[in-house]
């Protein structure tokens, strides 16, 4: 028995499913998870000493690559000063300022500990600010695991084929209204019926939890127009896209200014972190300035702030255009290889993220994403893994490239795809 299998067997005795986040269990790809001992640059190393080119990248945060020296240096300096204060620290201000300077829609920002906390808090704020109850979200978009968002929640729920939202009372999701991603007409119909009680529209400006799905021309602009017309808030969930689609987020890339923005992943440089921010008028309603309560013992943790600040400061000088070009070439190369094997393939890509869908139809929403052939994906995933390439163990996730991936890593990835027998 190899070490990963041995560790997984032990883990299942004391951790539900043997993992602390469901998709990691690799059930949908009929494999056992790899237990990672260390990571460096674009690579992860298992407890068995196997080396993999990594496209999971901690599910997105490691845009600079694993174990980046600038981030490590900041962390070492911070940890020598203590790991948690439960009190304000200078690094909170510095990271908040870096976020405000980078993102057009953020004038004030509140730190939390995860993307789920960020979206949950942003929803409470939207309801408190507008005095309304309902929210609009899109099928297949994942906004964390707070009860109100677990209706048609994308990757994790879809990957494990969990029906509905067990454990969530119907009353909790009765105010959650659903529309198809990229379908403005459905959104207009919801507002025509419920507009006076819709507090906010939550959207991933580039969907990343049904696989990468790009907004069609006019979709985000339409959401901005509709929410403004009805006095609702437009909330961009940029937990994945923030600082990845561009240094100025998807909002900077598409030129759409949301009322609130939710962040995570990259702004923590690999440590647990989240944030939500937006217009000063709205954010001032958060306690202690205002009457909408939200708190967290570890919010603004000095280690997470140091890692996030070092990451963002390093990203300022990185060549996003070059990384986008390399990612596009990789994605197109994989598509060409798979098409040569007479497989139905669509590849959706933006900036440094992409998803391979095994379908003949363009993927524009969750319905078309679910038409992707999961049996082919299972063969692809396991075939790539056998060749030393680590992909997300779900057909509804993104592959993440990074500034650390070399031409050699990309060539190895393409070579691995050529060797798979379907």
Give the number of other Cβ atoms within 10 Å of residue 271's Cβ.
Answer: 18
What φ, ψ does residue 233 adopt, rounded to 5°?
-95, 140
The answer to whether 265 is a known catalytic residue is: yes
- Give CA angle at 80 (76, 84), nearest 5°: 100
Distance of CA 361 to the CA centre of its chain: 24
Beta-sheet strands, E only, within 15-104: 36-40, 43-46, 51-54
The owner of tokens 């990612």 is: 327
The answer to whether 254 is a known catalytic residue is: no
The answer to whether residues 156 and 142 touch, using CB atoms and an 8 Å cutoff, is: yes
Measured distance CA(228)–CA(91) in Å, rounded = 35
Residue 119's closest CA among 240, 32, 248, 27?
A: 240
337-342 contacts: CB < 8 A, separation 24 or more?
Answer: 337/414, 337/417, 337/418, 338/380, 338/417, 341/420, 341/422
Residues 6+ apart with CB under 8 A from 42: 53, 54, 65, 66, 402, 404, 405, 406, 409
Query: Please, what is the angle between helix 320-340 and helix 407-418, to 10°?
Result: 10
* Sign of the four-CA dihedral 113, 162, 23, 339: negative
Determine which one of 52, 55, 142, 381 is catalytic: 142
Measured distance CA(151)–CA(389) in Å, rounded = 33
Determine which one of 54, 237, 259, 409 is catalytic: 237
Measured distance CA(222)–CA(24) in Å, rounded = 36
Determine which one of 27, 134, 265, 326 is catalytic: 265
Residues annotated as part of the active site: 142, 237, 265
């Amino acid at each position: 028995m190899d070490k990963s299998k041995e560790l997984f067997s032990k883990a299942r005795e004391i951790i539900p499913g043997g993992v602390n986040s469901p998709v990691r269990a690799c059930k949908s790809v009929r494999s056992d998870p790899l237990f990672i001992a260390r990571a460096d640059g674009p690579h992860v190393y298992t407890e068995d000493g196997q080396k993999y080119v990594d496209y999971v990248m901690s599910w997105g945060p490691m845009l600079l690559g694993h174990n980046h020296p600038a981030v490590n240096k900041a962390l070492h300096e911070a940890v020598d000063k203590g790991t948690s204060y439960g009190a304000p620290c200078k690094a909170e201000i510095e990271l908040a300022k870096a976020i405000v300077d980078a993102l057009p829609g953020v004038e004030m920002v509140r730190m939390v500990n995860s993307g789920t906390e960020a979206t949950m808090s942003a929803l409470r704020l939207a309801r408190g600010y507008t005095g309304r109850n309902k929210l609009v979200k899109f099928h297949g978009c994942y906004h964390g695991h707070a009860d109100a968002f677990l209706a048609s929640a994308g990757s994790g729920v879809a990957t494990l084929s969990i029906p509905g939202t067990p454990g969530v009372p119907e009353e909790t999701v009765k105010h959650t209204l659903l529309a198809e991603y990229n379908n403005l007409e459905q959104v207009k119909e919801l507002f025509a019926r419920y507009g006076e009680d819709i507090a906010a529209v939550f959207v991933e400006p580039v969907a990343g939890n049904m696989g990468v799905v790009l907004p069609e021309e006019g979709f985000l602009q339409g959401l901005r127009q509709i929410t403004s017309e009805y006095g609702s808030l437009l909330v961009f969930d940029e937990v994945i896209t923030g600082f990845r689609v561009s240094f100025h987020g998807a909002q900077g890339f598409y030129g759409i200014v949301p009322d609130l923005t939710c962040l995570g992943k990259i702004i923590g440089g690999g440590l647990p972190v989240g944030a939500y921010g937006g217009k000063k008028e709205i954010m001032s309603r958060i306690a202690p300035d205002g009457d909408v309560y939200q708190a967290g013992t570890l919010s603004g943790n000095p280690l997470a702030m140091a890692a996030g600040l070092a990451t963002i400061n390093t990203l300022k000088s990185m060549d996003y255009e070059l990384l986008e070009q390399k990612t596009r070439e990789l994605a197109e190369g994989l598509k060409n290889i798979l098409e040569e094997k007479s497989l139905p393939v669509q590849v959706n890509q933006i900036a440094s993220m992409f998803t391979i869908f095994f379908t003949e139809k363009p993927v524009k929403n969750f319905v078309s994403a679910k038409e992707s052939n999961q049996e082919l994906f299972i063969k692809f995933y396991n075939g790539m893994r056998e060749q030393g390439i680590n992909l997300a163990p779900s057909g509804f996730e993104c592959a993440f490239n990074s500034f650390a991936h070399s031409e050699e890593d990309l060539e190895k990835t393409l070579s691995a795809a050529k060797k798979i027998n379907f």
